[in-house]
Amino acid sequence: MPTRNAPIDAIVADMVNKFDEDLREDFEERAGIIEFEAKLPRAHAECLALLDVLRRHPDVLINAVEVKPESGDAQS
């Protein structure tokens, strides 16, 4: 298994850490392409790559978002 660097931005890293290996590879590939082709800083390329992966695989958002009840909500 290849060694991967954690994404630079903490929010991006949190989301990407919830990806399976295929989506993680997709993210890494997109980030590299965006960084190289658009000549953008790596952190910016990673943000755009995350958005692209989520656009193409919106179902991962279901498992990526942790829903916490608000403190005033009644529990049934």
Domain boundaries, the chain: 10-57
pTM (two decimals)? 0.77
Q: What pLDDT is attached to residue 44?
A: 97
Instruction: Note the pLDDT tens digit of each residue in 18-52.
Output: 999 999 999 999 999 999 999 999 999 999 999 99
Q: What pLDDT is attached to residue 5?
A: 82
Q: Please state, for a pLDDT cut of 90, what percent of the chain lies above it.
A: 67
**CB-based burial of residue 41 (10 Å sphere; 0-12 exposed, 13-18 middle, 19+ buried)?**
exposed
Length of the chain as a residue count:
76
Using an 8 Å Cβ cutoff, are 38 and 52 in contact? Answer: no
